[in-house]
């Protein structure tokens, strides 16, 4: 899996990553992790593979406004749905992902 490229579109934000041996890739303040099974050193395609994505210290309000993921107001544990696309190992994977959004007005936000 090491050296394989992953491109992620999360709502209106896109980022490319190059995976390490354990499926993790930090790029600046962004972190991506993909949990896949490997066979003979190559990742096996699995559209349901779990992943995590973290962006820190960025201004994403305008890119994620149509998903309702902004820091305009203080909210706690609000359900949101975000379109996510992954390009990985020659495959195109797309899903609407549900998450719980919390934010502090004019400060920060996080979704799980």
Q: What is the pLDDT of residue 44?
A: 63
**pLDDT tens digits for 73-100?**
899 999 999 999 999 888 898 999 999 9
Q: Is 64 left (phi over 0), alpha (psi -120 to 50) or beta?
A: alpha
Q: What is the pLDDT of residue 8?
A: 93
d(Cα 92, Cα 83) in Å, to the nearest integer? 13
How many independent structural domains does the chain possess? 1
Domain that holds residue 47: 5-111
Question: In sequence order, what are the residues at sequence separation of 6 or more whose Cβ sits closer than 8 angstroms to the Cβ of residue 48?
Answer: none
pLDDT at 43 over 80: no
Q: What is the pLDDT of residue 110?
A: 86
d(Cα 30, Cα 51) in Å, to the nearest integer? 13
Q: What is the mean pLDDT of the chain?
A: 86
Q: What is the pLDDT of residue 60?
A: 85
């Amino acid at each position: 899996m090491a050296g394989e490229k992953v491109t992620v579109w999360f709502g209106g934000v896109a980022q490319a990553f190059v995976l390490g041996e354990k499926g993790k890739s930090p790029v600046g303040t962004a972190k991506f992790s993909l949990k896949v099974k490997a066979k003979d050193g190559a990742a096996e395609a699995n559209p349901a593979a779990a992943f995590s994505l973290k962006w820190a210290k960025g201004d994403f309000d305008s890119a994620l406004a149509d998903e309702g993921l902004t820091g305009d107001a203080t909210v706690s544990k609000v359900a949101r749905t975000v379109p996510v696309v992954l390009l990985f190992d020659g495959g195109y994977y797309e899903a609407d992902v549900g998450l719980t959004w919390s934010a502090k007005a004019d400060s920060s936000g996080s979704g799980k």
